[in-house]
Structure 1
């Protein structure tokens, strides 16, 4: 489903180029869940942005469904994200003028896969059923995060990329959200790549990798 080959990425600083990723290789199969751990600044979020086609590597290749993203122009990458990917990043990016229910349905509409019954089930399982008519400013930070996760799941993506998706949730809510993410992987054959700093959150996933000094290694929890 997802393959990163010899990925290198650096960023300019006043002191010169700062290497972040130095020859990263990663493979993720359909139906597989993978946790990516590492210290702050190790390049975890950079790797997710590259996997989503939101940024381009300095060297190496990102392939989705065996298709190189470098062969696509930006409109084609945007269409791929809309139709095949679910994205959960640390910023919620909710539309303030839409209710919770409409925010959740937005991605599914864009992908042409709106399913009212599935949207209602997501709201219920995320503990938001009684807040469907509220606007984002009327929700707590944790509720907004759950809504952002639900929006990513609404279109039943083939690949879900999640950056600390349970970071603002209490343990019980985090467990419920994680169970929902893993159920989608199991039931729909979706692949999940999740960045987390928590060994507890990473433990239920199929595999765990750790980024250190710009390179990837298997991690033990």
Structure 2
């Protein structure tokens, strides 16, 4: 579902080019969950943005759902994100003028993949059905995060990319949101790549890789 081969990425700094990723290889199969760990500034978010086609590598290749991102123009990559990818970030990026229900279905409608039954199921599973007519400002932080997860899954993505999806939540709420996320990912059959700094958050996923000095340093097995 996701394949990176010898991916490198550098950014310009006053001191010269800073190489953030240095020949990274990574593969993620359908139905598999992978946690990507590393210190702040290690390149975790950069890797996630490259996997989403939000940026392009300096070298190497990235395939998503069997398609090389380098062969697509920006519009095609945007269409791929709408139809085949789900994105969840620390900042929820909810539309304040839309209701909970309309925020949930936004990406799916844009992609022409709206399934009312699935969206209603997500609202119920995420504990948001009774709040469907409310607006984001009327929700707690945990409820907003659950809504952001639901919006990403409403399109039935082949690949879900999550950047510290529980980073702004207290530990108890984070555990609850993570459990719901993994349950829904399992039920939908999509692949999950999640960036986190927390070993506790990474533990339930199938695999965990650590990014350091631009390279993946090792792997540990999580819950199958």
TM-based fold match above 0.5: yes
| C-alpha RMSD over aligned residues | 1.6
Q: Does 1:69 align with 2:69?
A: yes
Q: Does 1:18 align with 2:18?
A: yes
TM-score normalized by the length of structure 2: 0.93
**Residue in 1 aligned with 2:135?**
135
Encode CA deviations 1:4-30: one digit per residue, 9 max, x unaligned.
111111111111111111111100001
Asked whether the 8 Å contact 2:185–2:192 carries over to 1, the reply is yes
Q: Which runs of 4+ in 1 moved over 6 A?
A: none
**Residue in 1 aligned with 2:4?**
4
Structure 2 unaligned segments of length 5 or more: list them: none
TM-score normalized by the length of structure 1: 0.94
Asked whether the 8 Å contact 2:65–2:158 carries over to 1, the reply is no
State the shift of 1:98 in Å. 0.6
- State the distance in 2 between where 1:45 and 1:77 align: 18
- State the distance in 2 between where 1:188 and 1:88 align: 16
State the shift of 1:139 in Å. 2.4
1:187–1:144 distance in 2 versus 1, CA, 3 Å: closer
State the shift of 1:39 in Å. 0.4
State the shift of 1:94 in Å. 1.2
- State the distance in 1 between where 2:91 and 2:182 align: 22
- State the distance in 1 between where 2:214 and 2:193 align: 18
Encode CA deviations 1:102-135: one digit per residue, 9 max, x unaligned.
0001111122222222222222222322322122
- State the distance in 1 between where 2:15 and 2:132 align: 49
**Residue in 2 aligned with 1:52?**
52
Output aligned runs, 1:26-175, within 5 Å: 26-175=26-175
Asked whether the 8 Å contact 1:8–1:23 carries over to 2, the reply is yes
State the shift of 1:184 in Å. 3.4
Output aligned runs, 1:136-215, within 5 Å: 136-215=136-215
- State the distance in 2 between where 1:135 and 1:185 align: 25
State the shift of 1:97 in Å. 1.3
- State the distance in 2 between where 1:117 and 1:167 align: 30
Asked whether the 8 Å contact 1:32–1:185 carries over to 2, the reply is no
